[in-house]
Amino acid sequence: MASSSSSTRASRTSRSQDVRSRAEAAPGLERRARAAVRLDAVDHRLLAALAEDARVPNNALAAQVGIAPSTCLTRVRRLRDEGVIRGFHADVDPALAGRPLQAVIAVRMQGPARSHLPAFARELARLPGVLDVYLLGGAHDFFVHVTAPDTDVLNEFVIENLSANPGVALTETNLIFQHTRGGWY
């Protein structure tokens, strides 16, 4: 029995390391190719509660969902290991952090550059002020959600990081006047 549980544990560890290494290679891109993880009603309640407040202590989360704290800890750990929970993040108000200007920049790539879309997405995601990068199907290849302290910095970002890139065919910058975060469920 011990060898069965240790081999199961090793299999889970190997699988979670594989999930992490793929996620690190291209965050947000390769994940979609994975099969959905089987989730039950308790898992969905856990996800909804964590999406509302990821800082909730385990015992309070367990009580909210109606399960034992040890079960809660095990289930949250499994959701993380399986890649369902990708991380826990602070929801920073860009304006209060000195970057009140937000924009979504639509980017269309040149034909030959399309073979490098995942690499370009990773490059964009590492740039200062970039909140999200969306790889799209349709007229544009990317939407890039950015913050900036002012229009001069936004203009500089577009010119230096997008327009100067020979693989970029077109950019359209759309200012965001208001942003309201939706709920998970």
Q: What are the extents of the domains in the chain?
A: 2-81, 101-176
Taking only the tens place, the pLDDT of each residue in 77-114 is: 999 999 999 999 888 899 999 999 999 999 999 988 88
What CA–CA distance (Å, rounded) separates 29 from 134?
9
Considering the segment(s) 2-81 as one domain, its CATH architecture is: Orthogonal Bundle (1.10)
What's the chain's average pLDDT? 85
- pLDDT at residue number 89: 86
CA angle 6–14–21, rounded 5-degree value: 160
- Short-list 102, 179, 183, CA closest to 144: 102
The predicted pLDDT at position 158 comes to 98
* Cα–Cα distances in angstroms (integers) from residue 43 to residues 11, 34, 68, in the given order: 22, 18, 13
Q: What's the CATH number of domain 101-176, 3.30.70.920, 2.60.40.10, 1.10.1500.10, 1.10.3720.10? A: 3.30.70.920
pLDDT score recorded for residue 96: 95
Quickly tell me which residue has 């889970």 as its tokens.
Answer: 12
pLDDT at 20 (0 to 100): 41
- Give the model's pLDDT for residue 113: 83
Identify which of 23, 171, 26, 45 has the alpha carbon closest to the alpha carbon of residue 110.
171
Per-residue confidence (pLDDT) for residue 179, from 0 to 100:
86
* pLDDT block averages, 10 residues each, the chain of length 185: 43 42 46 78 96 94 98 97 92 93 96 87 96 94 97 97 95 94 73
For the stretch 112-122, pLDDT in tens is 888 889 999 99
- Contact by Cβ (8 Å): 132, 142: no
Total residue length of the chain: 185
Report the Cα–Cα distance between both ends of the chain, in Å, rounded.
40
- pLDDT on residue 114: 81
**Phi-psi category of residue 66: left, alpha or beta, with phi > 0 → left and psi -120 to 50 → alpha:** left
DSSP per-residue codes, 94-117: TTTTT--EEEEEEEEE-GGGGGGH
